[in-house]
Amino acid sequence: MKDRKPGPNDACWCGSGRKYKKCHQAQDQAGAQGVVQPPAATPRRDPLHLDEEERNSMRRACAFNAQLMDYIRDYVKPGISTGEIDQLVHDYTIQHGHTPATLGYRGYTKSCCTSVNEVICHGVPGTQVLKEGDIINVDLTSIVDGWHGDQSETLLVGAVSDEALRVTQCSFDAMWAAIDALTPGCKVKEIGRAIQRVAKAAGFSVVKEFFGHGIGKRFHQRPHIPHFAENSHGNETLDPGMCFTIEPMINVGSWRSEVDRFDNWTAYTIDRKLSAQFEHTILMTEKGPEVMTLTKRGPQRGHKFTNSQPANV
Ligand code: MF3
Ligand code: CO
Ligand code: CO
């Protein structure tokens, strides 16, 4: 069984926040009609199910991306601007011989997304200067030898409010609950079920307009990974060899979002209440999920966010 296809005016499955017709529709149709064909001599590789060599390529891409996250985390302090963070991401990636995936992606002109406070996702780095009490999601995606690693963390800027701590904790716990719900061959909807359970217990809401996604040689591919459970979604199975992201966005208030009418990217909560997000790239193996973007120095499974941790001050 396949997921319901998005209509032309629905949000694109890729999580860009754009209408399907303006985003991946043409590409999907080209693929479906066989317009994009590998040369006859090339053995056809299934882009959704990776063999061992391809899994190793993903492991390398994700390991570099995690290293970049470890590098950037320490710079996120009061007084730095989101544009300066972007520059650091850009330069570190290029210096290591890799490519920021968002640069030039569908007209996006920056090397990462920086989503502060009431921004759900796709915050565009610029002149905003971080101040004590902010929370910021830094979303990094690198291309390493043609393969993508994608992850994000919500970082605390100095000491933050209790509400900010709780929504950050909730999105982190929701991501890990979803990872723990994965078994070889399970349905995508197990992810949304786990996330909604954690959000409900905390009294928060789950964003419905931006999805996790399959990932590999392409930044965004099938399956799409909703972070909520509804009958029409999530019927695909997650079989060994599949790579995808889990990236729940959790809101303190309404789950609804609104995209900035000027930059066409930045997605705000409709009520301007706080939103937090974490993201990992996952490989389903024959034995279960492998989290490919684990960091050495970031928050590990089970982490508790407090204001007294080695804070980013
Ligand atoms: N990294 C985001 C994700 O998790 C996508 C950002 S696309 C951009 O899927 F163009 F907004 F950068
Ligand atoms: Co992603
Ligand atoms: Co991302």
Q: Is 247 in the pocket of ligand 1 (CB under 6 A)?
A: yes
Sign of CA dihedral 184, 185, 188, 190: negative
Residue closest to 267 by CA, chosen among 91, 117, 76, 163: 117
Q: What confidence score (pLDDT) does residue 33 get?
A: 52
Instruction: Tell me if 6 is assigned to some domain.
Output: no
| 246, 191 Cβ separation under 8 angstroms | yes
| 250, 164 Cβ separation under 8 angstroms | no
Instruction: Tell me if 23 is assigned to some domain.
Output: no
Give me the amino acid identity at 133. Answer: G
Total structural domains in the chain? 1
Provide block-wise average pLDDT over 10 residues at a time, the chain (313 residues).
62 70 69 56 84 98 99 98 99 98 98 99 98 98 99 98 98 99 98 98 98 98 96 92 99 98 98 99 98 98 87 50
Domain that holds residue 189: 52-291
Tokens of 37: 């064909």
Instruction: Tell me if 304 is assigned to some domain.
Output: no
Instruction: Tell me if 232 is assigned to some domain.
Output: yes
- Other C-beta atoms closer than 10 Å to the C-beta of 137 total 27
| CATH label of the domain that carries residue 257 | 3.90.230.10
Instruction: Tell me if 8 is assigned to some domain.
Output: no
Pocket test residue of 12, 14, 16, 22 for ligand 1, highest count of atoms within 8 A of CB: 16
d(CA 3, CA 13): 10
Ligand nearest to the CA of 244: 2
DSSP, res 48: T
Instruction: Tell me if 254 is assigned to some domain.
Output: yes
Instruction: Tell me if 47 is assigned to some domain.
Output: no
Q: What confidence score (pLDDT) does residue 232 get?
A: 85
Å from CA of 178 to ligand 2 middle: 15
pTM over 0.85: yes
- The tens digit of pLDDT for each residue in 259-286 reads 999 999 999 999 999 999 999 999 999 9
Q: What confidence score (pLDDT) does residue 233 get?
A: 87
Instruction: Tell me if 310 is assigned to some domain.
Output: no
Q: Is 212 in the pocket of ligand 1 (CB under 6 A)?
A: no
Q: Is 209 in the pocket of ligand 1 (CB under 6 A)?
A: no
